[in-house]
Amino acid sequence: MTIKPPLSHDTDLMITMRSRISLLVLLGALFAPTCVFAQKSPSAPPPDPTSDQLMMSAGFLSAHPDLRYRLLGLDEFKQGRYEDAFRFFQRASFYADKPSQGMVAEMLWNGQGVAKDPVLAYAWMDLAAERGYAGFLGLRERYWNSLNEAERERALADGEVIYAKYGDAAAQPRLATVLRRERRNITGSRTGFAGNVQIYVPGPGGFEQIDGSKFFDDRYWDPKQYQAWHDSIWMKPRIGRVRVGEVEQVPQQGPASRIPTAKPDTEAAEPATPQRDESRLGTQEEG
């Protein structure tokens, strides 16, 4: 999947207070791969494994449910199948994927694939902003400012339930369990010697080889490093200045949530999603 990044860059997210800007304006520049493995730059974020077709062919996404269900959600959204997109974003959210949580919020706000509900939309956007990602913080504050007092009270109450199931305290341990399990399953007895492992996958000209040192880079498997990789991309996203109507600068808000701390629901059931052909997931190029 290739989407051209915007040409301009501002350190502050600029949004309009008169005309709403879809979250996709922000995500369109960020869901795309930041760079490929052949590119190196001291100032560039770490490489995105979903930009490498061989990585995808080797089953990387099956071991990373946050990325897997996010990409499925994006594909459904692109096809206009909003109900299924909403379900896939919720499933990615179950594994602590903040961009997917932001998409759930925006779809609730707009009534895409689900009944319009600005109260639940705020709770989900508050969740998406849990780590202090700048773009989601700005949207969170815009949502909050549009609610009346009664809606704000309900948003905080409903938000506790959402945080219990999808907040980092519950979702990050789930993802960590999957990452550790799948790495053990893939490497088997050679865990710890990933640099010596060679992976062979079918390609257009026969079998192609992936160096294990790339596939098993710790930043994609160690839970703490994996979150740090996400943080490097989303904390201060590189996006162009968006101008729709009269534009005002939204000051960066602190990462603190208004929603009371909830006890993590570690026994929560994983959201169900429809079956899809995933053979080319993450490898298609945009026209």
Tell me how far CA of residue 40 lies from CA of 34, 36, 45, 283, in angstroms. Answer: 11, 8, 9, 21
Q: How confident is the model over 149-156, as a mean pLDDT?
A: 97
Residue 272 has pLDDT above 60, yes or no: yes
Mean pLDDT along residues 213-219:
82
Which carries the bigger pLDDT value, residue 196 or residue 66?
Answer: 66
Does 200 or 184 have the greater pLDDT score? 184
pLDDT in tens, 17-73: 333 345 654 554 444 433 223 333 444 555 677 777 767 666 788 899 998 999 899
Residue with tokens 């309009």: 16
Q: pTM for this one?
A: 0.78
Residues 83-93: pLDDT tens digits?
A: 999 999 999 99
CA distance to 64, 99, 103, 196, 216, per residue, from 191 (Å): 18, 31, 36, 10, 10
Of 119-128, 146-155, 191-200, 252-261, where does mean pLDDT reach its minimum? 191-200
Q: Is 92 helix (H, G, I), strand (E, B) or coil?
A: helix
Which of helix, strand or coil describes residue 207? Answer: strand
pLDDT of residue 12: 34
